[in-house]
Structures are given as structure tokens and as C-alpha cells.
A and B are shown apart, each in its own frame.
Chain A
Amino acid sequence: GQSLEQPSEVTAVEGAIVQINCTYQTSGFYGLSWYQQHDGGAPTFLSYNALDGLEETGRFSSFLSRSDSYGYLLLQELQMKDSASYFCAVSVDQTGANNLFFGTGTRLTVIP
């Protein structure tokens, strides 16, 4: 079977830094993506890691360790608008990232 594990809920203070971890066990692996979804909204792409290391995009960074089957999303300088659900997703097929296996999501609450 395939599984992705991430914390169900995280609470952090505005202006702080938060890390959301994701461990995976899948039959294939071609990359790890992160998506953000606000209540009632569409998931939106944040980052994609195919190789080990850290990718930085503004306040968000994502890390991957293929040998540990582990990745994380780092959010810095938290803002109230960052309150949302965050999903890690694994590309399990080489033919394309469209076939994504998603985790159950981490609900981030940013408090003043």
C-alpha cells in the first residue's frame, strides 16, 4: 500500500516559523509536492522537490530527503492568511505529476 503521514493540526503565532513534516511510503517516487487549500477553495501549488535538498520560494521553503522518505514545508514570517490546510503529495508515476497521491493534510491555524 501507499501512505503519507503528516500532522493533522498545527497552531503557530503570527510572525513565527512553522515546519510541517511529511513521511511517505509509496510504490514509486518521482517527487514531492506541497499544496495549500483554504476552506472552500481550490488547492494551490506551493512547491515541488524531485531531488534532495532545500527549495526556497519567498516565505516558503520545502525540503526533501529521498533516502529518509521524508520532506517538510517551512513557512516563515507567518501571516494570518496562511491559516489553511497543507497537503504533501507524491508523484508515483513517471508519466506525469498529475497522478498525485495526497496525504490527509495538516490544518494550520495562525493566531495573533
Chain B
Amino acid sequence: DAGVTQSPTHLIKTRGQQVTLRCSPKSGHDTVSWYQQALGQGPQFIFQYYEEEERQRGNFPDRFSGHQYPNYSSELNVNALLLGDSALYLCASSPQGFGANVLTFGAGSRLTVL
């Protein structure tokens, strides 16, 4: 049973560019959240998707947007990249109801902005 898969694993962009990161949740999970983890820090909540809608959002600007598809996979888009956007972007999934307290994380997409 594949867990959470993310792509790409690494990417390099320049300031002002746009990036799209992709996530496939664990089988049986319908809720997807995205986190940003700067080097040496804990993950910071960006937003959560459920039933193809953004359900909650953390303290991130509108440059960060997302989408969830009917198959529960999700995308994170970041526009007008800044140097400070360099980080590990983690996708996490969970089911609704029983087990909702347990997040399964992917290995992340490491974004470097030059």
C-alpha cells in the first residue's frame, strides 16, 4: 500500500516564477493538507482540502493556492516566488472520522528559489 506520494522531489526556480507541486494521498484518505517546513523548523500549516474545497487556511498569502481533484489528489501552486519560499513542502493526508487525528506525510518536495 503506497503511502503519500509527492512530486517532484526536488526543484529549483528563480524569483518571480511559479511552481506547482503534486500530491497523491494514501489509499482510503480523503483529506489533504499542505505544510511548509523551513530548514531547522517545524512544519507550518498552509491549507487543507476536503471534498475539493479549501476547508482551512493558515497564515500564508494568496500567492499560495491549491486544488483537490475528485480522486483526492491535490496540487499546491505558488506564484511570484520569493527567496523566502525556499523550503520543504510536505503533503499530509488523513481520513475523516476514525483515524482523523493521525496524519500520514509524504517525503516532501524541496523547493529552492534563486
The finding on whether chains A and B are genuine partners in a shared complex, rather than unrelated, reads yes
Q: Which residues of A contact B (CB under 8 A)?
A: 4, 31, 33, 35, 40-45, 48, 50, 87, 89, 91, 93, 95-105
Q: In whole Å, how far is B47's beta carbon from the nearest beta carbon of chain A?
A: 9
Q: Is B92 an interface residue (CB 8 A)?
A: yes
87-114 of chain B: CB within 8 A of chain A: 90, 92, 94, 96, 100-108
A-B pair number, CB within 8 angstroms = 72
Q: Are B100 and A97 in contact (CB under 8 A)?
A: yes
A104 (CB) vs chain B CBs: closest residue: B42
Give the docked Cα–Cα distance between A48 and B100 (Å).
11
Q: Is B58 an interface residue (CB 8 A)?
A: yes
Q: In whole Å, how far is A41's beta carbon from the nearest beta carbon of chain B?
A: 6
Contact A99:B104 (CB < 8 A) given known A42-B90, A93-B56: no
Most chain B CB inside 10 Å of its own CB: which residue of A48, A98, A103:
A98
Q: Are B41 and A104 in contact (CB under 8 A)?
A: yes
Q: In whole Å, how far is A84's beta carbon from the nearest beta carbon of chain B?
A: 13
Q: Contacting A102 at CB < 8 Å: which of B40, B42, B106? A: B42
For residue A50, which residues in chain B have a CB less than 8 angstroms away from its CB?
101
Q: Are A98 and B107 in contact (CB under 8 A)?
A: no
Give the docked Cα–Cα distance between A48 and B99 (Å).
11
Contact A97:B103 (CB < 8 A) given known A43-B90, A103-B42: yes
For residue A44, which residues in chain B have a CB less than 8 angstroms away from its CB?
105
Q: Is B48 an interface residue (CB 8 A)?
A: yes
Q: Which 8 A-B pairs have the closest CB atoms?
A: A102-B42, A42-B105, A97-B101, A98-B33, A42-B107, A98-B48, A48-B101, A43-B105
